[in-house]
Structure 1
Amino acid sequence: MVAGEERDRMMERLNEFRRCNPRIFYGKKADHWVVEKWLMHMEKLFHNTFVEERDRVWFATHHLNGEAYRWWTDIREDPHADLAAITWKRFKELLYTTYFPQSVKRKMERDLRSLRQGDRIVAEYEREFFRLLHCVSFVVRDDEDKARIFEVGLRPSIFRLV
């Protein structure tokens, strides 16, 4: 295929993708869950619309706006940046580094370790535990460590049974 035909094919695929109403990421740093939700939404759409791995960054960057678009423009215009080396995995790492800073991750780690069941039913506690764990999965060494952290947060009457 010649370059023009390839460009036309990609634009057609992008227009098909846009018909699924992908969310726009604006890059507001106020809520770190926004980036998490946006990435999950994009990955779901990629899966549902059969977007190939090699095209994901290109599709995603068409759905950045505001501060996030400026962030991507800065990367794209950096003369030292190797855009071809920015895979979807690397793109997510860069996005997390910018919009999900270490200070927030450290706070979430503390929140995970201090999480207690309290008045909640086990299912509610478990849901909150895994929501936090998803974002700071690096804090657990293995399944045994994960189970130990979870059990410590259970109500004492339940913990004794475990």
Structure 2
Amino acid sequence: MERIYDAKRCVEENRLAFTEYLLTGEAGHWWSSTKMLLEDEHILITWEIFKKRFYEDYFPNSVRFAKEVEFLQLVQGGMTVSEYANRFKQLMRFYTMRMSEEWQCRKFENGLREDLKPVNASHCIQKFLALVERAKVLEKNLMDAERRKKQQQPSSKGPIFSRKNPGPRATPYSRSMSSSGPSALTVRPVNYAKPSSQPGNMSCFICGGPHYKNDCPRQGNVRFCVRCNRNGHWKKDCNMGNRALSRPPHVGIFQHSGGRAQATGRVYAIRGTEASSAGNLITSTCLLYGMPCCVLFDSGATHSFISKACVDRLGLAEREMQLDLVVSTPTAGEVRTSTVCVRCPIEVEGYKFKVNFICLPL
């Protein structure tokens, strides 16, 4: 506004009148109340008095001092030279001390980035506009040099080799999970293949030599029971009777027309004294879900069973299998079951396992 008054060569008395006419809204209300206070204090209202009161209310000294401090601490930082010069000129008017153009050059140069400060190392440039233009040229040269350097740098990527016949790479130790049913139980039939005729694959069950059991020279000196699979007596002298410990020859899987698949199995019921005397069986008390249970271990068994009474006592969750399992027992005959307890936590001598138990309604 003052620039307009200076261009029109307007005297101070007219400046005050023109300004009062232009004030509207809040500014108009402010000047009406301020003018009444000045008249009550018998203060002559002039253009200088108006400017003083206006700056005190709308641009106090605290704001002017903050702008002056900002100017003194101004540095280029992440700004370009043009942005830094514009901000420098905006804040320079708040500096209260008298400054020369040489001082402006020193202040502007001191705020430049380190890579641009050599623009006036000899301090021979004492014109502010000339210093700004020199700094702009140096900045552009540095940016062009950096761009050429990046273009000349070789690519960090190595050569790319392509395979002629790319195919799916197998994951190490991967297994195909073909079963999609709810049960994790796998029924594994025993494969009775014909023995190989190669001598390297032969192993005698009596002495471990490279021959068959029937050809073992120690066979006549060793008494072996084929009913209970133990040494020391013959089959005719075996006292196990129908409670033999031999395992079933196979586990068969069949399916009725239009019905569920079925599998057959066999479980042996023996007394604790017989289990303790059998070399391949172990009886012990283990923790199932933290509860002590009596367990019979058979290291060669392909199935793990649990009684329905134990399932009910522990409150275990049962799942349906994809097939019905028919189990032959010496006490209850054939028992049909189709449920399994999946991933039951069992603790044996401090070692913890996850076991799938087939439920037997016994």
Query: In the alignment, is residue 83 of structure 1 matched against residue 39 of structure 2?
Result: no
Aligned residues between the structures: 117
Give 1:154's match in structure 2, choosing from 112, 116, 120.
112
Q: What is the aligned partner in structure 2 of residue 116 from structure 1?
A: 75
Q: Does the 8 Å contact 2:71/2:95 carry over to 1?
A: no
Q: For the pair shown, which has the larger CA radius of gyration, 1 or 2? A: 2
RMSD, matched Cα: 2.3
The equivalences for 1:62-141 within 5 A come to: 62-78=21-37, 79-84=40-45, 86-87=46-47, 89-134=48-93, 136-138=94-96, 140-141=97-98
For 1:103, give the aligned amino acid. Answer: S
In structure 2, what is the Cα distance between the partners aligned to 1:146 and 1:81?
43
Higher relative contact order structure (alpha carbons within 8 Å, sequence separation ≥ 6): 1
Structure 1 runs, 4 residues or longer, greater than 6 Å off = none
Identity score, percent: 32
Asked if structure 1 preserves the Cα contact closer than 8 Å seen for 2:77 and 2:113, the reply is: yes
Gaps of 5+ in 2: 121-362
Distance 2:14 2:91 in 1: 30
Following superposition of structure 1 onto structure 2, how do residues 40-79 of structure 1 map, counting pairs within 5 Å? 42-78=1-37, 79=40
CA distance in 2, matches of 1:45, 1:141: 25
Gaps of 5+ in 1: 1-41
State the shift of 1:58 in Å. 1.0
Q: Which has the higher helix share?
A: 1
- Relative to the length of structure 1, the TM-score reads 0.60
- Larger mean CA deviation between 43-52 and 123-132 belongs to 43-52
Kept after mapping to 1: 8 A contact 2:67/2:91: yes
- How far off is 1:132 after superposition? 0.9
The aligned counterpart of 2:99 is 142
